[in-house]
Structure 1
């Protein structure tokens, strides 16, 4: 018989309390679902995403909840040789399953799938109703109990209360510095009833690519239950390339393999470096030719994969030890972002939404997305989209900002979790690195936990220290990676250096770094970011408000829609945001406190900060053998609810100007300009800035003009063209110096320096022996372009810092419309021109600066172009 799969999707009810409580049952959503969403469906709670309603639903996470459904036994159940199982894709989190009143399973890990043989547990009479119940205990209360139970361990957690430490559940549910406290419960993945005689459990491929990158040789592996004959087809674009049918046993129980060879394979490439061809492996399990039921198909499975070669290059060089990725023998600069779950309620993110998120990252020229360890092992749809769009995935294991325990049952659960998820994701070509955790080694440094990397190499001894999780990150997880997947590097943590440098004190010479001395830490000026890189920057960021349209949805009381209101401060979870955000805005711009203006200022400030980082750190990609910076991932791409945060795209998928700033700096070919910044703020002395006094010579800000210009390319060949540099007065819009021009050959896959430490004589420089008169000063922007045969292909602009010292009267801005296009120009330089965006509106560009004589074309989808609203710095 062919396998029967029936999803127990509808007909569920739920109630507060245990299965024996007298509480009333209410209809639940179709599975997958979560208790908050079911309470919303029945109008029992207010929307936690609005106003201060998060506070009114905290009680939900402290309660027990029971889900119930009924079903009938499948038709073939009970026949000889027939097996019936219930498959639970994921239960959140402490779950007790009962079938027809009898206990079936206890689960304590949200990330684990359970398959339970229920052949002998179903009522066999025809049409008999089967009762399935799942009781979910409070994860928070169970966590507190486990902390008390395991007094041998020193539980330390950051961001949240201690109860999350021993619980294998998405850690952000306890709240983070960008998300609410919403501790969920429920059947968050499908529940499926299967009946079969024989079935395919899993199918995957392992392969190698020859040195010429032409031929792929490998094996198709199949795990199955029962008896039967296996066949596999390998196809591409619907065309059959090879049939595989000579399967042989392996060392693993119920696993067989067969060889395959593709002599002229098409390789999978990251976006911007080549195409993303995908191959389909179709496996059929059927009866043998000699069988009475010859020709019967028991089960089918289909897997899609791409063939690529991945290396994490960590070699000694003149800067320390490199850290970058090489795909198919080509060095790849990984510019991109970090990903958190797209919703506090995971079941609301549909496959189409995942695809839209990954597509948005790809359209923003992002090569890599890092899936952060405080969330989940994401849905297959995200990885399928990444495969299709050529976006590389860095996947953290699900640990974040804590000192995790290692008692026996915990380790056993973690190993099952790791193996299941590595197996599920192992054939996605987009997944190119696994990391052990997020920032757990920083806990080690901050609290002085026991960690001797150099001399203690005995994993069993690590379990006896007060940092036993080293066993997980440096023994258990790499063991799982070696045994379950091939050709994917493992990194012990993000960040992590070489064991002696775990990068709480950021080490720019080794490993990856989280650079938080802008915003957090020392709160350095973001103009210092060019000097604050590491070998790979896997986190850094700057906060900004989302567009006003998003704030209006979250804060329903219009009287609360002002910067610093109770509702606004409550929604921003970042520690010290009241001081940090206003400090960065006020340090750089003239403050305006009405909501529209302040929102705009935060957005332009964020975009400027990220531009300083991406532009300069991409410059440090340099040339082969001299890859000083291997990648830049902003914290963060997205939000899990409507809020103000470090995200560059808000909860509704509406980009902030910073998204477009990243997009511009990661174009395949860019030019960059960096002007020397003469610091105008008063801070403690340091060697880099060489400042030890508050007596700043303000004339240097505008009159000591020194700059660098370079080009960065990820092209596979060199490009010849011309660099032009113009100097345009902010006041008048006229050129104040003769342009500079230089013919240049831009080298492939690297950066080419064009002007270094270039100085210009400032026109109308004032007599140093006379008082400085700001009215006589004539600050100018520096505008550089790269042209090929008189066609402009790249540009960049540098402003005299800080912007708050500049005046912007009478800019002469023109906005013209033509169908779905809008054209923007100005007679004088304009800083931070931003269209007000909203959901269902899509722009090709936003948040740009305007230079006289240049017209910017923006494509508009989802709205009539002439209804757009906009702001720019200094706008009346």
Structure 2
């Protein structure tokens, strides 16, 4: 993983997986030792294994386990001394992949390591501390202190720093631990401890510590010229480098390296096939091998990795709007539509390699291009980046800082530098990683609390350490320095969001940098129909909450009496502040409310999907054409959950997609069509031009009549020809109220083609201003658009008259036919249907869900894991 695996030649490697025990307290504690899970593990999982706690993911049980965070915990195992330890010159090393977090390690009663950074791997030569081979086993003990208590102590030890944190209690500020463990507005407060990554015993004489590749592509991107590097613990013997097209292919290049400043180096200049993002080409990767050979020809060590050759640019150029912000891969502009990623579990040690692979497949199958690894989690597992490489997903990688004013005292800086260098080196040869970002939302802390930040006036990094915002030293000096020294050709961005120093964007600046748009849901709680006008040069966060499917809710809420919206257990599980008001407001504003759990769950899902459709289609429309990129990408907050809950995630903890996932999938098709009518806000409308404030004197005639609509095509592929058909269909009767429009269209390459702009259509049955308002005489209609290329319908879209709740959805005439082999379902309707949703569960897979239906069209859904009679569905008005 991490692009390669170690070969066991003269090196022996023993993973210390089983036969661990643990107890509450330190070494001198009299508590009973209990069996653990196999490593990696953590204390919550081990207590659960022994029946000492209830499952924190169920009901209110999170509250009953918070005491764990204030205790110390000791882990213990024993192992035999390797036979090779007695050989002259042999090194015997204990490698700790990750210790969470304040850990003291003892071997045979002697302290050998003190660690206080969860993100670091540690290696300790213990050759002289082991017992004789064949004798008594060696005893390895690890004491984990309370991260919360130690954090509080560090606050007192550094009164010179103004600690500010959002989302959680302040103790997380000085602690180099996954910040979401303190709880977040989508996750529980579960402060873990334990060996969260493998512990391995190695013996060797010499080894290759690291191997990497640096290169540049020539102008036509057909040749790569660069160097391969191998860092060896001693610069004796020789290192032979090999390059292959793939692991089993013939060798393209085999050369011995020369030593330069203690590192073995070999140059190369070869023809290459490029690595492309998902949907733009193949994900070509090359196998690289470095072999350490002794003077007598003995093979001592070997390391293998895979690399991909690609060119990355973050295009930030002055234009008519301000400054652009988009990615150019291999000289092709790429609209980076995708998701933000949080850690996929509160208990990281239980995440399998298969789970990582499955998550990346979900993203790729959803037509997503980019995944942003958020700064409050972890530098992800090698398997995450391996899968992203293979599937062509671009990775936006935050450094692990989020929503705080972090310190910069010397010991902290030293730890952060080691953490950053180690993790940049670990993932630097993954072609998927296309940007490093300093933090998540820390500059908003600066702006909100008026911390000292003189971007233009003060360019001296040393002076920043003396301000009340010393972390500027991290984000604008140390971290970019590390990225430039350890990688080639990967851009760095100080923060997300960040406006190039001109805006640090508590006040969202749509003209420059990336933005987090939270005036839908948070902030002003604007209608999500306004999202098209609330974008920016790159929208790296925005979101809308929804419940997961019923199966997930029923797994986590075990008592039937608690299974209703607003129950104590349901409200406790949703960590978003004000969710009780915000979620129900958005649902009630748009849909006829239902308060039974299945009905309310469904409505939240359809509402979230509707918001995603408005955002992704409209902001992708703003991709524009070459030279006029108004919006360079959009990343929803968030793809996933770390526990079973209701949140902004578009796929839940059990990898079950919500309808919003499919809305994004449709909007990010290689070729998509969009239709929207001019939005008229029915929730706040001025009663009279003389009024100076908004009121609710709403005349729905004014909202619904004089429909003005646009149609456009978004295309990620080459220029092509197509045909657009626009229909106007009565919601009440299902009859076309106007003749359809048909236009042949030339669809421009890699951009947006505007087809219809500002076309107006009258509402059938609209009254004159002096007539009584008779809703039965008004006939609101949907606008349905289809795009056909070479005789095949490749995309459709429906625009509805808002709000949906005012429409009559009786007698929809929905029909679902399941194929004889249960592999697909055909869905049709006699009248327009909003939000047809199959109820999903674990173990099943659909290729589409949460779509609208119109008469005369059918929707085919590929079904896996269901039998036809098991299918259940909902739609608005069912």
**Shorter-chain TM-score: which interval?**
over 0.9
- Please give the alpha-carbon distance, in whole angstroms, between the structure 1 residues aligned to 2:776 and 2:429: 64
Residue 284 of structure 1: which of 280, 286, 291 is its match?
291
Any idea what SS the aligned residue of 2:736 has? Answer: coil
Confirm or deny that 1:776 pairs with 2:758: no
Is the 1:244–1:260 contact (alpha carbons within 8 Å) kept by the matching residues of 2? no
Distance 1:657 1:202 in 2: 44
The 8 Å contact of residues 83 and 133 in structure 2, kept in 1 or not, is answered as: no
Q: Distance in 2 between matches of 1:796 and 1:692?
A: 32
1:746 and 2:730 equivalent? Answer: no
Aligned to 1:439: 441
Tell me if 1:247 matches 2:254: no
Q: Is the 8 A contact 2:80 2:133 kept in 1?
A: no
Counterparts of residues 249-398 of structure 1 (less than 5 Å): 249-251=259-261, 254-263=262-271, 265-288=272-295, 291=296, 294=297, 296-398=298-400
- Aligned position for 1:866: 869
1:231 aligns to what? 240
Comparing 72-81 with 705-714, which one deviates more in the overlay? 72-81
SS in structure 2 of the partner of residue 482 of structure 1:
helix
Judge conservation of contact 2:82–2:133 (CA < 8 Å) in 1: no
Q: Distance in 2 between matches of 1:131 and 1:786?
A: 69
1:199-245 superposed Cα distances (whole Å, 9 cap, x missing partner) = 11111100110001100111110011243321121112321242332
Q: Paired residue for 1:834?
A: 837
Deviations 1:673-702 (A, max 9, x none): 110111110279999x99844333320222
Separation (CA, whole Å) in 1 of partners of 2:872 and 2:692: 44
Contact in 2 for aligned 1:199/1:285 (Cα 8 Å): yes
Contact kept, 8 Å, 2:211 with 2:303, in 1: the verdict is: yes
C-alpha contact 2:307 2:431 (8 A) present in aligned 1: yes
- Counterpart position of 1:61: 69
Partner of 1:803: 804
CA positional deviation for 1:791:
2.4
Structure 2 equivalent of residue 731 of structure 1: 732
Where does residue 486 of structure 1 map in the other structure? 488
For residue 4 of structure 2, what is the aligned residue in structure 1? none
State how far apart, in whole Å, the 1-side matches of 2:531 and 2:46 are. Answer: 46
Shift of 1:107: 0.4
CA distance in 2, matches of 1:684, 1:96: 66
Compare 398-407 and 769-778 and name the one that shifted more. 769-778
Gaps of 5+ in 2: 1-8
- The answer as to whether partners of 2:26 and 2:74 remain within 8 angstroms in 1 is yes
Measure, in 1, the Cα distance between the counterparts of 2:64 and 2:686. Answer: 44
Measured in 2, the distance between the counterparts of 1:10 and 1:215 equals 48
SS of 2:463 mapped into structure 1: helix
Check 1:531–1:627 CA distance in 2 against 1; reply closer, same or farther (3 A cut): same
TM-score, normalization: structure 2? 0.97
- The two structures have a TM-score, normalised by structure 1, of 0.97
**1:629 alignment partner in structure 2:** 631
1:120 maps to 2:128: yes
* Residue 761 of structure 1, CA deviation: 2.7
Q: Is the 8 A contact 1:536 1:632 kept in 2?
A: yes
Is 1:757 equivalent to 2:766 in the alignment?
no
Q: Quick one: structure 1 residues 692 and 46, their matched pair in 2 at CA, closer, same or farther if it must change by over 3 Å?
A: closer
* Superimposed CA distance per residue, residues 131-166 of structure 1 (whole angstroms, 9 cap, x where no aligned partner): 110000000000001011110001000000000000
* Residues 311-356 of structure 1: per-residue CA shift (max 9 Å, x gap): 0000001111000000000000000000000000001111110000
- Flag the 1:665–1:763 CA change in 2: closer, same or farther, 3 A: same
Secondary structure at the counterpart of residue 639 of structure 1 = coil
Alignment of 1:386-785 (within 5 A): 386-682=388-684, 692-715=694-717, 717-785=718-786
Match of 1:79 in 2: 87
Deviation string, structure 1 residues 2-28 (Cα, Å, up to 9, x no partner): 011111111111000001211110011
Q: Would you say the 8 A contact 2:92–2:201 is kept in 1?
A: yes
CA distance in structure 2 between the aligned counterparts of 1:630 and 1:728, rounded to whole angstroms: 34
1:101 to 80, 89, 109: 109
**Structure 1 residues 813-838: Cα deviation after superposition (integer angstroms, max 9, x where no partner):** 00001021111000000001101100
Shift of 1:795: 1.0
> In the TM superposition, what is the alpha-carbon distance from 1:437 to its structure 2 partner?
0.3
Aligned residue runs from structure 1 range 121-140, under 5 A: 121-140=129-148
- In 2: Cα distance, 1:789 partner to 1:462 partner: 61
* More displaced 10-residue stretch of structure 1: 23-32 or 419-428: 23-32
Cα distance between partner residues in 2 of 1:310 and 1:550: 40
Aligned to 1:45, which of 46, 50, 53?
53
Report the secondary structure of 1:706's partner residue: strand
For 2:666 and 2:357, the matched residues in 1 are separated by: 22
Alignment length (residue pairs): 865
The 2-side partners of 1:684 and 1:452 are apart by 42
- 2:686–2:696 CA contact under 8 A, matched in 1: no
Distance in 2, Cα, partners of 1:865 & 1:633: 35
CA deviation after TM superposition for structure 1 residue 845, in Å: 0.6
Give, in whole Å, the separation in 2 of the partners of 1:495 and 1:865.
47
- Do 1:242 and 1:260's aligned partners in 2 also have CA atoms closer than 8 Å? no
Q: 1:127 to 1:242 in 2, by over 3 A?
A: farther
1-side partners of 2:505 and 2:100: how far apart? Answer: 33
Task: Give secondary structure in 1 for the equivalent of 2:250.
Answer: strand
Separation in structure 1 between the aligned mates of residue 792 and residue 80 of structure 2, nearest angstrom? 70
d(CA) in 2 for partners of 1:686, 1:218: 69
SS in structure 2 opposite 1:388? helix
CA RMSD, aligned part only?
A: 1.4
Aligned-partner Cα distance in 1 for 2:685–2:696: 8
Specify the alignment match of 2:150 in structure 1: 142
1:256 CA displacement = 1.5
In structure 2, distance between residues paired with 1:609 and 1:762: 25
Asked if 2 retains the 8 angstrom alpha-carbon contact of 1:686 and 1:692, the reply is: no
Cα deviation code 1:722-760 (max 9, x no counterpart): 111100000100000011111110000000000001101
Q: Please report how far the alpha carbon of residue 764 of structure 1 lies from its aligned counterpart in structure 2 after TM superposition.
A: 2.5
Task: Give deviations 1:20-59, integer Å, cap 9, x for gaps.
Answer: 2111100111111100011111111100000000000000
Q: Check the 8 A contact 2:101/2:147 in 1, yes or no.
A: yes
